[in-house]
Amino acid sequence: MPEHVLFGLDPLWTSTALLIATYAAIMSEKLNRAIVALLGAGLMISLGLLTQEQAVEGIDFNTLALLTGMMLIVAITRRSGVFQYVAIVAAQASKASPAGVLALLAVVTAVFSAFLDNVTTVLLVAPVTLVICRELKVSPYPFLFSEIFASNIGGTATLIGDPPNIIIGSAAHLTFMDFVYALTPVVLVVLALHVLAMHLIWGRKLTATPEARARVMALDHKAAITDPRLMRQAVVVIVAVVLAFASARFIHMEAGTIALFGAAVLLLLDNLGRSAEHQHERLIESFNEVEWITIFFFVGLFIVVAGVDHAGLLRLLADELVSATGGDLKALTLAILWASAILSAVIDNIPFVATMIPVIKSMAPELGGDQAILPLWWALSLGACFGGNGTLIGASANLTVAGIGERAGVPFRFIEFVKLAAPLMLLSIAVSHLYLLWRFF
């Protein structure tokens, strides 16, 4: 516990107040969350709740490396047009039937979100969706709503699909394949239920004229590929990176190292044969695509959470949770699942997960060690990722799609979204509840 807190303030209460103030400011959205997190981090150090060395130790650089590397890979790959190509092909594969397009774009979004991060996926798929809907003369809202859900569902399946999983995987030393084995089965079930629900709610009512469908069928998907050479290079690198993730335990490399190395290789391939001046321009273009605001939000958040951890709050919460459930692993797992889902719908799931990780870690000694608490990690992942679908502020992808939609004249109203999203989210958590009981108990 900190010994030299400024003004003799109580470390536990001061750090807790600072954590609550940081969360409240993030939820208010009056200031960008990166500014809030960095200010919170600065206050943790300035007030003596953390030394600078402890603050640096609290930053999970593996998570930051993984995020940065994947953002670079996606930024370079995006220039080839391959994502737009896949979206158009999916629309045409359904013969431009609005119901078919609704279903297939959800599946495409989920698959992309499993191997890219879900915010990047919706940034790529949503604009193409607007074009297709405009040609079909149908409301884009059902399609964008479905893609929000599909991105958060698909992102749950792998280590790299959703930021909460990236943080959990790094902190708990879980590999890409650990996530695939543990979570992909339930993700497939929830995705199937989502596609069915979207069809029953909207799909069977959507219609388009033969002329409108003909316009979509006439879209030239090949023209979407603007750089075939870059596309081939990017696909090779992405496949190699995913294979490396899958075999990380055998090659003894962390996910962050793999992602940054893959990004470096793709940067090299993209710049071979170019002049020094042109290379400089391409590098600036690629690095400008990295979401540095998100990266520095993580930096500040890690330090804020480290502050309350050093003050003893998280250990106190862990003891209370274990006591409330009688130390029963099954009860703890289900409590974490439902609490994570409900809280992640109200606050962004990233800061929530960052706070919960040290709480769960501190339970390991009382519950039988790191292997014994694996169900708790899966419950946290399912609750946080699926729970993010509950409201518009539950996950970053939700707000991203809402922003794209509103710029295109498709309003997203908080209450209207929640009325449909919350019941669907609770259904996915109920399925996860049954899955965790069947799989781990």
pLDDT digits over 345-404, tens only? Answer: 876 677 778 888 888 888 888 888 888 899 999 999 999 999 999 988 777 788 778 878
Task: Please report which confidence band the pLDDT of residue 318 belongs to, taking 50, 70 and 90 as the band edges.
Answer: low
DSSP helix/strand/coil, 274: coil
DSSP helix/strand/coil, 409: coil
Helices 313-324 and 349-361, packing angle to 10 deg: 80
For position 276, what pLDDT does the model report? Answer: 87
Judged against a pLDDT cut of 80, whether residue 322 lies above it is answered with no
Residue 116 CB partners (closer than 8 Å, separation 6+): 70, 74, 160, 161
Are 144 and 404 contacting, i.e. CB atoms less than 8 angstroms apart? yes
pLDDT digits over 203-261, tens only? Answer: 999 888 888 888 888 888 888 889 999 999 999 998 898 888 878 778 888 888 998 99
For position 30, what pLDDT does the model report? Answer: 84
Output the CA angle 113-126-261, nearest 5 degrees: 40
DSSP type of residue 327: T
Are 67 and 120 contacting, i.e. CB atoms less than 8 angstroms apart? no
Judged against a pLDDT cut of 90, whether residue 184 lies above it is answered with yes
Judged against a pLDDT cut of 70, whether residue 157 lies above it is answered with yes
d(CA 294, CA 304): 15
d(CA 202, CA 99): 8
Mean pLDDT over all residues of the chain?
87
pLDDT digits over 414-425, tens only? Answer: 788 989 999 999
For position 165, what pLDDT does the model report? Answer: 92
For position 29, what pLDDT does the model report? Answer: 72
Are 23 and 351 contacting, i.e. CB atoms less than 8 angstroms apart? yes
For position 381, what pLDDT does the model report? Answer: 96
Are 300 and 39 contacting, i.e. CB atoms less than 8 angstroms apart? yes
Lowest mean pLDDT among 36-45, 292-301, 311-320, 365-374: 311-320
Burial 58-85 (b: 16+ CB within 10 A, else e): bbbebbbbbbbbbbbbbbbbbbbbbbbb
For the chain, first and last CA: distance in Å?
37
To the nearest whole percent, how much of the chain has pLDDT over 90? 38
Are 176 and 426 contacting, i.e. CB atoms less than 8 angstroms apart? no
